[in-house]
Amino acid sequence: MAEPPAARSAGGRWLGRVGALLVVAGLVLGAYVAWQVWGTNVVSQRTHRALVEDVRRAWAQEDGRASSGPVRTDRGRVSAIVRIPRFGDDYAVPLLEGTSEDVLAAGFGRFANGPAPGGKGNFAVAAHRVTHGEPLRGMPELAPGDEVVVETREWTYTYVLDSGGDDLTVPFTAGWVLDALPANPDGGVQPAQEPGQRLLTLTTCSELFHTDDRLVAFGHLESRERTAR
**Catalytic residue list contains 210:** no
Question: Kind of pairing, strands 76-83 and 71-73?
Answer: antiparallel
From the number of C-beta atoms within 10 Å of its C-beta (0-12, 13-18, 19+), residue 221 rates as buried
Strand 93-97, strand 108-110: pairing? parallel
Of 105, 104, 97, the closest CA to residue 78 belongs to 97
Contacts of 42-46 with CB under 8 Å at 24 or more apart are 44/105, 44/106, 44/131, 44/132, 44/133, 45/133
In the residue annotation, 220 being an active-site residue is answered as no
Q: How many CB atoms lie under 10 A from the CB of residue 143?
A: 14
Given the residues 48, 132, 205, 220, the one annotated as active site? 205
Question: Do residues 55 and 71 make contact, with C-beta atoms less than 8 angstroms apart?
Answer: yes
- Residues 128, 132, 210, 220: which is the catalytic one? 128
Residues designated catalytic:
128, 205
